[in-house]
Every structure is written in C-alpha cells, then in structure tokens.
C-alpha cells in the first residue's frame, strides 16, 4: 500500500525543506514517492527541494498557477495506488498515513480520508477566524470535502476523471468531493491530526488583496461554471451555504444603492446605509467575539461577492488535459 505524496508549492523556500523531511519520516516502513509540484516559484523553493530524494516538476512559464492546477500537475506524474495531497507549508503528522491506510483498507468504498489541519498561524485574522469554524474544517466522521488535503484512493480519483480541476482558483477540494460522491464514493475525517499548517505570515487585509489579484477569490464562481449542466449541479448548490450568504450580500448591496434614490432625501438614504452597515458589522463582531474579526468578515464578504461573477464568466480549459510542465528532477 505505497503512497505518492504530492506537495504543492509556490515560493515556499522557508518551509519546503521541513515539509519534505516530515513526509520522508512518515513514509518510513510504508514506501512510496514524493512529488513537489511547483506553480512557478521565483525563490529558492526548487533549489531546496532538489537536495532531497524527490521528484520536482514545475509549470511551464506560459501556464498560470492556480489552486486547482498544482494537485493535478502532481497527480499526472504520480504512480502509486494512494495519493496524499498537502501544501509545501505543512508538516505531515508521523502517525497519519498508517491510520489512514488502515481506514481505507477496512472501508473499500471510501475514496479518501483526512484528519484535522492544525493552524499554526495565530496572528493573521484570516487564520484566527478559520480556526474558530466548526464545519467543514474541524468536523470528524463523514464529510463532503477534504479541505487542506488528505489521502485519496487512486482508483476513485480515476473514476472521477481527474484529481483537481486546473481551472479552479479555489474550492478544488469541494469539486473533487462532489465528483467522488456522485459516483458513490465516501470521504471521512479521522479524529486526529493530519498536518500542521503554517500559512501566510501576512496582514489579513494584505492577504485578501493578494487573493483578489491572484484570482483565488474567483474560485466559487469558477466552481459553479464548471458544474453547470452536470448531474451534480443541484447537489452542489444545496451543499454550498456560501451561496446563500453571497445572495444576502447582493441584496444588501442593492439596498445600499437603492436607499439614497428611494428615500425623500439622498442624505437620509446614505445615513440609513451607514447605520445598516454598522449594524451588520456589530452583529458579526458579537458572533466572532471580536470587533476586528467582525469587520474583517464583512470586508471579506464584499471581496468574495465581487469576485463570484468574474469567476463564473472565466473561460475554461479541459480539466483532464495534460498540463504543460518540465521535470526539474526525477527520482
């Protein structure tokens, strides 16, 4: 039961060495291979990775990186019957793979199994807010997606067509989960740690702007576009609570625009807009138990809502098509 571990990287020179070492230690007694799938790093990520017994592949410069293209790049170079997917800024828990392999052996219709992602970044508002969520990041048992990665069965992935949709800048795990579950496979989260994740050491608002520029925030729109007309479209809409949130945000924005025009005085309309916005921030601050988190949540909503239509109308490439890349180092 050997494992292909795929490490997705983009400018991870500070973390990739430790990530590889954690995987090498975890593979002892199991066997397998490691593929570093790089999205075009401009730092020393590749130079560091080449010091280890791993395969290193990198996108051709003409191919734009995305969250979805990295896993698929690694998958097309992988060989083993089980695929462990993780990021280059993660450390694999040494006991995860034996327990995960045991679960897949005992549950032949399970396509994948993961564990908890322990967020080590406790300074950025983004990761603090993420750490407070319950579903789907922290829930154990049957799940609909494996956010953060985990161990997949190659047979199931091949039935689903491909590991990751190269067109997606986000929600690639959800898309894979939908395709797997549509074919009768299941996903499971063990009540144990899978990885420690160090994340971006950036101000949350700086990270938000970076994700806007990189296209990351367009992921949900791209996901909807890719599923349009597919058998799992209705299930996808039902399983994405974010869609209801974005609908509410759109209604709020429409009301903000309409109030200055509908009320007797534009100034009165603007005043109502200010009060309404302050009230929404206040409610979110109470829910998050923090004014800064409440404000950040509302700002993030606006960014996501603006990005959704941009992603939906984005042109697509065949997700299963071979990704042009170069092999920097082979095993």
DSSP state for residue 42 in the 8-state scheme: S
CATH number, domain containing residue 95? 3.90.550.10
Average pLDDT over residues 73-84: 97
117-144 pLDDT per residue, tens: 998 876 655 555 555 555 455 789 999 9
Per-residue model confidence (pLDDT) at position 120: 85
- Is residue 57 in some structural domain? yes
Tell me the C-alpha distance between 76 and 296, whole Å. Answer: 38
- Rounded CA-CA distance 240/176 in Å is 14
In a domain, 83, yes or no: yes
The tokens describing 66, both together, are: 């995305």
Q: Which residues 6+ apart lie within 8 Å of 9 measured at CB? A: 16, 36, 37, 38, 39, 41, 45, 49, 70, 87, 88
Output the pLDDT for position 276. Answer: 92
Whole-prediction pTM: 0.88
> Does some domain include residue 194?
yes
Domain contains 252? no
Task: Evaluate whether residue 271 is within a structural domain.
Answer: no
What 3-state class would DSSP assign to 287?
helix
Calculate the alpha carbon distances from 241 to 211, 244, 254 in Å: 21, 6, 21
Q: Note down the domain range covering 42.
A: 3-202+320-329
**Quick one: how far is CA 283 from the chain centroid?**
27
Specify whether the CB–CB gap between 199 and 206 falls below 8 A.
no
| Total structural domains within the chain | 1
- pLDDT band (50, 70, 90) for residue 239: confident
Q: What is the pLDDT of residue 122?
A: 65
Percent of the chain with pLDDT over 90: 78
Quick: pLDDT tens for 264-294: 889 999 999 999 999 999 999 998 888 988 9
Q: Tell me what the mean pLDDT of segment 49-63 comes to.
A: 96
pLDDT of residue 135: 46
Q: Is residue 145 part of a domain?
A: yes
Inside any domain, residue 233? no
The percentage of the chain sitting over the pLDDT mark of 70, rounded to a whole number, equals 94
Residue showing tokens 């100034």: 267
pLDDT (average), residues 173-199: 95
Query: Average of pLDDT values for 219-234?
Result: 91
C-alpha–C-alpha distance, residues 55 and 66, integer Å? 20
Give per-residue pLDDT as tens, 100-119.
Answer: 999 999 999 999 999 999 98
In a domain, 148, yes or no: yes
pLDDT of 119: 86
How many Å apart are CA 305 and CA 273, to the nearest integer?
Answer: 18
Between the alpha carbon of residue 50 and those of residues 73, 325, 331, the distances in Å are 18, 17, 10
pLDDT at 186: 98
């Amino acid at each position: 039961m050997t494992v292909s571990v795929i490490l997705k990287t983009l400018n991870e020179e500070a973390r990739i060495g430790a990530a590889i070492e954690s995987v090498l230690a975890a593979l002892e007694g199991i066997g397998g291979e490691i593929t570093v799938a790089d999205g075009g790093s401009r730092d020393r990520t590749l130079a560091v990775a080449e010091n280890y017994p791993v395969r290193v592949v990198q996108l051709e410069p003409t191919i734009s990186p995305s969250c979805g293209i990295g896993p698929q790049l690694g998958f097309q170079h992988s060989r083993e019957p089980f695929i462990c997917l993780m990021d280059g800024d993660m450390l694999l828990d040494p006991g995860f793979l034996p327990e995960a392999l045991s679960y897949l052996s005992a549950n032949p219709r399970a396509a994948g199994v993961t564990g908890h992602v322990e967020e080590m970044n406790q300074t950025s508002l983004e990761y603090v807010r993420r750490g407070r969520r319950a579903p789907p990041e922290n829930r154990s048992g049957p799940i609909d997606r494996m956010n953060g990665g985990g161990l997949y069965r190659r047979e199931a992935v091949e039935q689903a067509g491909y590991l990751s949709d190269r067109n997606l800048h986000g929600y690639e795990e959800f898309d894979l989960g939908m395709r797997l579950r549509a074919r009768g496979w299941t996903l499971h989260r063990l009540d144990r740690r899978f990885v420690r994740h160090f994340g971006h050491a950036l101000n949350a608002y700086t990270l938000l702007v970076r994700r806007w520029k990189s296209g990351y925030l367009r992921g949900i729109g791209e996901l909807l576009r890719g599923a349009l007309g597919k058998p799992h479209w209705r299930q996808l809409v039902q399983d994405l609570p974010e869609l209801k949130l974005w609908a509410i945000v759109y209604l709020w924005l429409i009301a903000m625009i309409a109030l200055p025009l509908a009320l007797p005085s534009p100034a009165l309309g603007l005043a109502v807009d200010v009060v309404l916005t302050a009230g929404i921030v206040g409610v979110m601050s109470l829910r998050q138990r923090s004014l800064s988190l409440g404000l950040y949540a509302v700002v993030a909503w606006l960014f996501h809502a603006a990005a959704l239509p941009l992603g939906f109308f984005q042109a697509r490439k065949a997700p299963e098509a071979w990704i042009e890349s170069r092999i920097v180092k082979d095993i």
